[in-house]
């Protein structure tokens, strides 16, 4: 029979709403990031943001294009977009990621809000830290797209600076504090079937994604092993969102060494469960960590990262990161997104270029 912790982690708590919102919005979410049958963890942060808008009066439909499956799906999505707009009235389209924004912009009937998420503005890096041709194409297309839509949201000040668009709103993705909450580490490991003895360094990413620098993490863990023989990397991919808090609670530290990030959700989720964080100064991680004791900003050097891993694991203490990260709660972020929607609708219908 499931324990209390398992039942609590099986689904997010739904907070009651005292009264309905005055304004209601019909929104079409256009995205290439959404949970699929094969990968239920893909794009859960986009799904989470759209769901967080429901209590504020946002009703939404999803137009998902699986770009990982085939690039042809983007062309099909353009046709489907026009079919949807002919069948139903929407107040606006909210596109998530630059490529999705290009699809959304293939019409001028409905205003478009684009949330740029990271490498669509910052570039896509290879293992040597060089921007790839694909990354450069992302940057150019996003730069142009941002100047044709009704509103732009970016996840960090660094992205806004890169985009060079004064009107862009910096709104990081929020964290669901009802889903990501602290539980006993031993209980989390028991539920997951993990060994009780190792010190686990959490890596909640696909190791083949070059910009995440899994190779640097491996080097750091190798250097730390003489002092921490029981250390292991806990890699987590393709896991349903309700299970992710178990892995964060089971780990001893989250280490983020990416070449580029927008506003890394894993850092917020680690902070929400009081898991120590070691990160390079990328995206808005410095702001996400803030003054939290037991979390560190490091240079991208294996020896320095290893030293901090050893320090954190030997101390064995959780942080008070949840107190700091509460300012990024999903419901608070949703209200900032809603302000963008309201501003777009006050401005009236989009003007098609001549």
What does the DSSP assignment read for 91-159?
Answer: SEEEEESHHHHHHHTS-SSS-EEEE--SHHHH--B-TTSPBPHHHHHHHHHHHHHTTTSSEEEESSHHH
Output 282 or 3, whichever has higher pLDDT.
282
pLDDT of residue 13: 42
Averaged pLDDT, 21-27: 84
Quick one: how far is CA 140 from the chain centroid?
A: 22
**pLDDT computed for residue 17 by the predictor:** 46
Sheet of strand 277-280: strand arrangement? 231-235, 199-203, 253-256, 277-280, 296-298
Taking a C-beta distance cutoff of 8 angstroms, is the pair 338, 174 a contact? no
Other C-beta atoms lying within 10 Å of the C-beta of residue 94: 31
Q: Which of 3-17, 47-61, 234-248 has the lowest mean pLDDT?
A: 3-17
With a pLDDT cut of 90, the percent of the chain lying above it is 77
Q: How many CB atoms lie within 10 A of CB 25?
A: 20
DSSP H or E stretch at residue 170:
strand 169-170
185-328 CATH fold: Rossmann fold (3.40.50)
Q: What is the mean pLDDT of the chain?
A: 91
pLDDT tens per residue, range 35-80: 888 887 888 899 999 999 999 999 999 999 998 888 999 999 999 9
State the pLDDT at residue 14. 44
The CA distances from residue 219 to 2, 38, 66, in Å, are 38, 31, 34
Q: What are 10's two structure tokens?
A: 């099986």
Q: What's the pLDDT score for residue 16?
A: 45
Q: Return phi, psi of residue 256, to 5°.
A: -120, 120
> Can you give the pLDDT at residue 37?
84
CA distance to 9, 185, 186, per residue, from 196 (Å) = 20, 9, 7
Least confident of 38-52, 102-116, 223-237: 38-52
**Cα 251 from chain centroid?**
19
18-174+330-347 classified as CATH 3.40.50.970? no
Q: Mind listing the pLDDT tens digit for each residue in 176-222?
A: 999 999 999 999 999 999 999 999 999 999 999 888 999 999 999 99
- Range with the lowest mean pLDDT among 117-126, 316-325, 334-343? 117-126
Closest by CA to 151, choosing from 164, 138, 135, 167, is: 167
pLDDT at 15: 47
pLDDT (0 to 100) of residue 163: 94
Classify each residue of 306-322 as buried b or exposed e, where b means 16 or more C-beta atoms within 10 Å of its C-beta: bbbbbbbbeeeebbebb
What is the model's pLDDT at position 303?
97
Q: What is the mean pLDDT of residues 306-314?
A: 97
Break the chain into its structural domains and give their ranges.
Answer: 18-174+330-347, 185-328
Same fold for the domain at 18-174+330-347 and the one at 185-328? Answer: yes
Helices (H), the chain: 4-9, 44-52, 72-87, 98-104, 119-122, 133-145, 157-163, 185-192, 214-224, 244-250, 265-272, 285-289, 302-315, 321-325, 330-347
């Amino acid at each position: 029979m499931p324990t209390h912790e398992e039942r609590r982690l099986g689904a997010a708590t739904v907070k009651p709403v005292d009264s309905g919102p005055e304004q209601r919005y019909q929104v079409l979410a256009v995205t290439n990031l959404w949970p699929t049958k094969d990968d239920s963890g893909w794009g859960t942060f986009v799904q989470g943001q759209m769901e967080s808008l429901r209590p504020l009066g946002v009703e939404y439909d999803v137009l998902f294009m699986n770009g990982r499956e085939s690039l042809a799906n983007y062309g099909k999505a353009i046709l489907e977009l026009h079919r949807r707009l002919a069948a139903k009235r929407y107040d606006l389209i909210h596109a998530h990621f630059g490529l999705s924004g290009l699809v959304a912009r293939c019409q001028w009937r409905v205003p478009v809000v684009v949330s740029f998420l990271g490498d669509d503005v910052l570039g896509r890096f290879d293992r040597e830290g060089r921007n790839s041709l694909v990354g450069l194409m992302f940057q150019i297309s996003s730069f142009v797209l941002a100047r044709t839509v009704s509103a732009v949201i970016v996840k960090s000040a660094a992205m806004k600076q890169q985009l060079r668009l004064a009107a862009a709103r910096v709104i990081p993705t929020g964290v669901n504090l009802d889903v990501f909450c602290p539980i006993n580490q031993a209980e989390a490991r028991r539920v997951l079937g993990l060994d009780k003895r190792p010190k686990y360094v959490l890596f909640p990413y696909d190791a083949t994604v070059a910009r995440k620098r899994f190779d640097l993490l491996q080097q750091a863990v190798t250097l730390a092993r003489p002092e921490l023989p029981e250390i292991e990397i806990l890699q987590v991919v393709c896991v349903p969102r309700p299970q992710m808090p178990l892995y964060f609670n089971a780990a001893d530290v989250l280490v983020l060494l990416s070449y580029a990030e927008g506003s890394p959700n894993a850092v917020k989720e680690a902070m929400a469960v009081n898991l120590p964080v070691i990160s390079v100064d990328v995206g808005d991680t410095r702001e996400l960590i803030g003054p939290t004791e037991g979390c560190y900003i490091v240079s991208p050097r294996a020896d320095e990262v290893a030293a901090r891993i050893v320090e954190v694991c030997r101390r064995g203490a959780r942080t008070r990161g949840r107190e700091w990260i509460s300012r990024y709660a999903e419901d608070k972020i949703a209200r900032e997104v809603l302000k963008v929607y309201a501003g777009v609708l006050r401005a009236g219908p989009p003007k098609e270029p001549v």
